Amino acid sequence: MKTLFRRMIAASRLDVQTYEQVEADRASNAGAVFIVVVASIAAAIGSGARDFAGVISGIIVLVLTWLVWVGLTYFIPDSQLLQACYAFSVFCPRSDCRYSSASRFGC
């Protein structure tokens, strides 16, 4: 548990090494699920649910939403994400980007 909380704090500080460690650590999935469930509980309670059924249904909806997001990011290839990125000109991860606003992002 200590490692999980250290990683949470380091991730909130946007520590690059922590993100690389989590990416390489296959056992960190259980910690991610734990964090999502705890955040879902907090969000369900904070949403103003007045009874236990409302809290439980909120938790279920939030966890299912997270699972859908995980599935989308897992199955959509990187190239399609980059094309969407270029189409909306929000962010440019490569140096040959044609958008001038991307220079502030280090492109």
What tens-digit pLDDT sequence spans the chain (107 residues)?
678 889 889 988 988 898 888 888 888 888 888 888 888 888 888 888 788 888 888 889 888 998 898 888 777 766 666 666 555 555 555 555 554 444 444 44
Distance CA 24, CA 7 (A): 13
| Dihedral sign from CA coordinates of 40, 46, 48, 50 | positive
In terms of pTM, does the model score above 0.75?
Answer: no
Domain that residue 30 falls in: 2-75
Domain count, the chain: 1
Q: Exposed (0-12), middle (13-18) or buried (19+): which is 7, by Cβ within 10 Å?
A: buried
Query: Is residue 55, in this structure, part of any structural domain at all?
Result: yes
**Do the domain assignments include residue 65?**
yes
Q: Would you say residue 67 lies in a domain?
A: yes
